[in-house]
Amino acid sequence: MAKGLPAAASEGLHNPLHDTLPEWLHDVFKPDAELLPTTVAVSLGVAFVLGCVVAGIYRLTSGRPRGQSVGLLASLVLLTVLISLVTLVIGNNIARAFSLAGVLAIVRFRTVVEDTRDTGFVIFAVAVGMAVGAGYPTAALIGIPFAAVAALLFRRRGEEPSGSALDYVLTVRVGVGYTPETLFREPFAKHVDQSRLTATTTARGGAALDLTYAVRLRHENAAVALVAALNGVEGIQQVELKQT
């Protein structure tokens, strides 16, 4: 009862809106338990180490040139740490989990995943981070070897060691109305040992296509010859070759 107010007046101070709100909403800002700094630090440290393990497994089994995978390697480590932190913050609070889902729904990711294996490793990092954040690091330690064995067993066959001086990223702009496979057939046959299309985008308001390939040249001196050969083909507007 408020001091100096009669009982009826003090009852009038009660906010009726409080009774209409769902119970879970009152607990949104109520911590489930105190998180000790040492607990947070140890969890994030373990998540960082295991995230590096996940990134290492991806690096060993992807077969990609190093320059093309370095971005995803960093993302896998960062994802593991952040998911662990998010799981620590959520705890057993259902309301906080729904609040987080609503916030994340606002985010839009524009990057196209080039390989379905990349998606699998992203989920791998998320699962490891959740296990560590939820207090089950043993589950993560047991699961990592199984995922590593699966990635090794089902890696692409016939891949050569990546990071060679012969690995390049080739970007070619082709005018609309031309078939890229036909334009590239002869230059690729002469100067390219392996090639893989990694991205396709429109250019010049839809009047051209930019095609990006991961290529391995037949020999070190083939770079200039490949660019010159492609540049002389009718229908090709621009050629760019970068070493990874």
Q: What is the pLDDT of residues 130-158, one digit of tens each?
A: 999 888 999 999 999 999 999 888 876 54
Half-sphere exposure of 31 (CA within 13 A, CB side): 6
Same domain, 63 and 171: no
Number of domains present in the structure of the chain: 2
Same domain, 142 and 44: yes
CA nearest 44: which of 94, 78, 91, 92?
78
As a whole number of angstroms, the distance between CA 229 and CA 224 comes to 9
Question: 1 lies in a domain?
Answer: no
Range of the domain at 173: 167-243
User: What's the CATH number where 211 sits?
Assistant: 3.30.70.260
Same domain, 149 and 41: yes
Q: What pLDDT is stored for residue 100 in this prediction?
A: 67
Q: What is the pLDDT of residues 158-200, one digit of tens each?
A: 444 444 556 888 999 998 888 888 899 899 999 998 888 998 8
| pLDDT > 90: percent of the chain | 25
Same domain, 177 and 225: yes
